[in-house]
Chain A
Amino acid sequence: MGNRSSTRPPSRSEIMAVGHVVPEPSRCVQCGICSFNCPISIDVRRHAWLGQHVEASECLTCGECVRRCPRGVLRFELTELFMEQGK
């Protein structure tokens, strides 16, 4: 299990500043709605297929992929590097 120090989901401003999108591959059926709705054409589905976080520097963290995913595969997580610095 990952970091579960708090059950409070990160706020929008925190995500915009220091967050990224994390897929849960055990729920993903590669439908591609995430990639289709990304305004800057990041292939989010590919990240889910490979089990990788969306750490692309160009990601706007706009949340379109998270909101549109019909299977709850994607979520926001704070980037650990910044969490350490912010302590």
Chain B
Amino acid sequence: MRRYVIVGLGVAGVAAISELRARDKSAEIIMVGDEKHGFYSRPGLAYHLTGELPEKQLMIFSKKDWQSLNIRFANAHVTSLDPHRHQLVLGAEDRLTYDRLLLSTGSTAAPINVLGSNLPQVVKLDNLEDTRRILALTRRVKTAVVVGGGILSLELVEGLHSNGVSVHYFLRGGRYWPNILDEIESHMVEHNLEKMGIHLHFHTEIAEIMGQRGSVNAVRTTTGEILPCGMVCVGVGVRSRMELAKEASLAVDKGILVNDHLLTSNADIFAAGDVAQVVDPVSGKSYIDTLWIPAREKGVTAAINMDGGNQKYNRTIATNVLRLAGIMTTIIGAVGSGVDEDLVSVARGSSETWLQLPNSIALESNLDVNHMRLMIGERTLLGAIVMGDQKLSIPLQELIAGETDISSIRDQLQPGAALGQILMDFWANGKGQGIKQ
């Protein structure tokens, strides 16, 4: 009987055990992880923070679901990995052997390195425990400072605001999320934040987090301004949890390097989820996604290959649906480029492919939908951002992911045209050559 061990309790790991069990009823499957609350919707934490969702609703599987998977579960920290002996060490000395191993250890929030960042009221939003801590602090803190970029920092801003905390949002540059959004889109988000009463501070950085009797009581900016506050929330990006792989001398870069079958540099060890940095065999380029759905897909693919299958990871076009300062936003494919000064690493809920802006024409429309930006290639749509009305987001997701030939309407996609209607009709009628029916 083969023994599979999965390290990590996130969606990639759970997708893998579900697939393994479906394929092999008799295999021994052991899941190991140090997340004390088990498997829950990490993206759902943002809605728990705003009060839209109670904590217990975050739990995805029922007791019955777990029983039907028939796995063994070890709530433990994996301290080391010995690939030669096919062995893990749990905690101080418990040893666990494996035939095939999956590392789906996820990512963790990157810290900020300024004086005072070790004070207890300096928080991140990585897991349920952090959310509990933030909610507890909001009961006694009146003013908070948020630093960072991307989605995570906005989740913090909106979550704190929903709990009645006065929020000061520090941005290093001149606008929000500049490597993904264009100026109009950044401004839409900033405008909504200001309407909510969020205090935006552009070109502002923390030089020191000041404390009194072990508690945060102010921040000092690099320009010398002192702003009183009771907590500092950090959303400057995430880093792969790849210490185990590193110590075991597996090939790593920004994450654990895997081939298109999600196999690491060791023949019996696979990696999936945020921690897996997939190398494209054709281009040699590699990328990291910190998105829920690709993590789940990677977990399934890894499981198939762990079971002896020959499944290539067919990467889907990176898509995320977000609520940015109350504006429903869908980001699909390649839409941006450059660097975001507010992030020190990839943002959670993000994809490096959004930054691979190819040769394309950007076309914006603010007429027939609230806001839409299309990245138009030679014969296909390469990326899109849809903000506000989401009628077009699923059609665009399908057209971009399916690399649909848009030659028949390309000339019509001009500034001032009713882009929304043209695209909706094209999608609905399935006219384009190559559209999958």
- A33-B47, A72-B390 given; A1·B437 CB < 8 A: yes
Is B190 located at the chain interface by the 8 A CB criterion?
Answer: no
Size band of the interface chain A makes with B: 20 to 34
User: CB within 8 Å of B: which of A1-50?
Assistant: 1, 4-7, 24-33, 35-36, 45, 49
CA distance A73 to B41 in the complex (A): 15
**A1-B437, A32-B53, A32-B60 known; A27+B328 contact, CB < 8 A:** no
Q: Is B393 part of the binding interface, using a Cβ–Cβ cutoff of 8 Å? A: yes
Q: Report whether B394 and A36 are in contact in the complex, using a CB–CB cutoff of 8 Å.
A: no
Verify B41–A29 contact, CB threshold 8 A: yes
- Name the residue among A1, A6, A75 with the largest chain B CB count within 10 angstroms: A1
Q: Are the C-beta atoms of A72 and B47 separated by less than 8 Å?
A: no
CB distance from A19 to the nearest CB of B (A): 17
Interface of A is mostly: loop
CB contact under 8 A between A7 and B57, given known A29-B44, A32-B44, A72-B328? no
Map CB proximity to A onto B362-393 as digits: 1 under 8 Å, 0 otherwise.
Answer: 00000000000000000000000000001001
Task: Please give the distance in Å from A36's CB to the nearest CB on chain B.
Answer: 5
Contacts of B390 in A (CB 8 A): 72
Cross-chain contact B323 with A70 (CB below 8 angstroms) = yes
Residues in A neighbouring B198, C-beta threshold 8 A: none
Q: Which residues of B contact A (CB under 8 A)?
A: 11, 41-44, 47, 52-54, 57-58, 60, 292-293, 316, 319, 321-323, 328, 330, 390, 393-394, 397-398, 424-425, 427-430, 435-437
Q: Is the CB of A33 within 8 A of B53?
A: yes
Inter-subunit contact B425/A31 (CB<8 Å): no
Closest 3 CB pairs of A and B: A31-B44, A29-B43, A71-B321
Residue on A nearest B436 in the bound complex, by CB? A1
B437 touches A70 (CB 8 A): no
Chain B nearest Cβ from A35, distance in angstroms: 7
Contact of A30 among B41, B398, B424, B436 (CB under 8 A): B41
Known: A26-B397, A30-B292, A70-B47. 19 other contacts (CB 8 A): A1-B435, A1-B436, A4-B428, A5-B428, A7-B424, A26-B319, A27-B319, A27-B397, A28-B293, A29-B41, A29-B43, A31-B43, A31-B53, A33-B47, A45-B60, A49-B60, A70-B328, A72-B330, A72-B393
- Contact between B54 and A36 (Cβ–Cβ < 8 Å)? yes
30 contacts between A and B (CB under 8 A): A1-B437, A4-B428, A4-B430, A7-B425, A24-B394, A26-B293, A26-B319, A27-B319, A27-B321, A27-B394, A27-B397, A28-B293, A29-B41, A29-B42, A29-B43, A29-B292, A30-B43, A30-B44, A30-B292, A32-B41, A32-B58, A33-B44, A33-B53, A36-B53, A36-B54, A71-B321, A72-B328, A72-B330, A72-B390, A72-B393
Residue of A with least CB distance to B45: A31
Chain B residues within 8 Å of A45, by CB = 60
Closest to B330 in A: A72
Chain A residue contacts of B42, Cβ below 8 A? 29
- Does the CB pair B430–A29 fall under 8 Å? no
User: Are the CB atoms of A35 and B425 closer together than 8 Å?
Assistant: no
> Known contacts A1-B436, A29-B41, A72-B328; is A7 also within 8 Å of B428 by CB?
yes
Q: Residues 45-70 of chain A: 1 if any B CB is under 8 Å from the residue's CB, otherwise 0?
A: 10001000000000000000000001
Contact in complex: B430, A1 (CB < 8 Å): yes
Residues A1 and B398 in contact in the complex (CB < 8 Å), given A31-B58, A72-B321: yes
Residue of A nearest to B424 (CB): A7
Which residues in B have their C-beta under 8 angstroms from that of A24? 394
State in angstroms the CA–CA spacing of A33 and B319 once bound together: 20
Question: Which chain A residue shows the least CB distance to B43?
Answer: A29
